[in-house]
Chain A
Amino acid sequence: DQQVKQNSPSLSVQEGRISILNCDYTNSMFDYFLWYKKYPAEGPTFLISISSIKDKNEDGRFTVFLNKSAKHLSLHIVPSQPGDSAVYFCAAGGGADGLTFGKGTHLIIQP
């Protein structure tokens, strides 16, 4: 049973527009959430995180929104740039048990 779900395997967005990546989770014990970005032949790298006590966290072009009642989080990238093309993983954690990852969404930024 997948505890973290990314239902869109891929997403195509025009350069300069907003990219919105979505993630749903089922485990109420998760208390912090992260987004990782992965380029081919590289390991995932941390992008942005949010604690369960917040509903929004912003870092430059990247904003993560958390809706605890809906068990849903999203990553907004605006404006989207060609270098943002990558696979984005949503992850959730609670305590010292590491992170549970979604299957990833392949974001393609078109010129």
Chain B
Amino acid sequence: DAGVIQSPRHEVTEMGQEVTLRCKPISGHNSLFWYRQTMMRGLELLIYFNNNVPIDDSGMPEDRFSAKMPNASFSTLKIQPSEPRDSAVYFCATQGEANEKLFFGSGTQLSVL
């Protein structure tokens, strides 16, 4: 298995633009998580899905953020409109069973100018 695949690796955009981050989970993993990493707050959980259903989105910072998982092999995190303070590294991670380790993708480095 190729692991968790995220795209793009880097995204530079201007304030006000829409940004879409993509994630392909490990095949067979039932849970998918979106994390954001910043210097100030470390790794924060934004939202997670179980069997494609959003379970907890309490970590999503604002209504500008939305996430979908239309099927078991694809998820998106969208920011509309983007702001400079959204600049961070966004990680997708998946988990096979509860109480097991998470497998992370390589992340998307987002810069909003």
Contacts and interface: CB of A to CB of B under 8 A. Distances in A.
Interface of A: 31-32, 34, 36, 41-46, 49, 89, 93-104
A32 B97 CA distance: 13
B101 to A, nearest CB: 4
Interface residues of B, number: 26
A21 to B, nearest CB: 14
Given A43-B91, A103-B41, A104-B42, A97 B104 contact: no
Interface of A is mostly: loop
Contacts of A32: 99
B102 A99 contact: yes
A97 B44 CA distance: 13
A95 B104 contact: no
